[in-house]
């Protein structure tokens, strides 16, 4: 796909807020050089100040968990996995 290009999920609702997940298969920044994937969860509701705890797991084709981010904190407009 190329560095800095992403696939976005449909907007979904949790806790009364709209969210979306962004997946960069070749990384989000040129420094990633296509050697890393990046995954972000973003608040899609505007004009809100939200803090959330979440867990994201990347799985391989067989369904085995390969990487997990447990209990990272999400503040409005800042989400890193």
The pLDDT of residue 20: 93
- Residue 44 in any domain: the answer is yes
The pLDDT of residue 12: 96
* Span 2-46, pLDDT tens digits: 889 999 999 999 999 999 999 999 988 888 788 888 888 888 888
Count of domains in the chain?
1
The pLDDT of residue 49: 78
Q: For the chain, what is the HEC assignment?
A: CCCCCCEECCCEEECCEEEEEEEECCCCCHHHCCCCCEEEEEECCCCCCCEEEEEEEEECCCCCEEEEEEEEEEECCECCC
Residue 81 in this model has a pLDDT that exceeds 50 = no
- Residue 1 in any domain: the answer is no
- Residue 46 in any domain: the answer is yes
Residue 12 structural domain: 7-75
- Residue 27 in any domain: the answer is yes
pLDDT band at 70 (very low <50, low <70, confident <90, very high): low
């Amino acid at each position: 796909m190329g560095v800095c290009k992403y696939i976005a999920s449909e907007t979904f609702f949790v806790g009364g807020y709209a969210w979306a997940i962004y997946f960069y298969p070749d990384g989000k920044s040129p420094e990633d050089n296509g050697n890393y994937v990046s995954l972000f969860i973003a608040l899609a509701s505007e004009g809100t100040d939200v803090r959330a705890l979440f867990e994201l797991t990347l799985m391989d084709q067989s369904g085995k968990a390969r990487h997990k981010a447990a209990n990272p904190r999400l503040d409005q407009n800042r989400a890193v996995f």
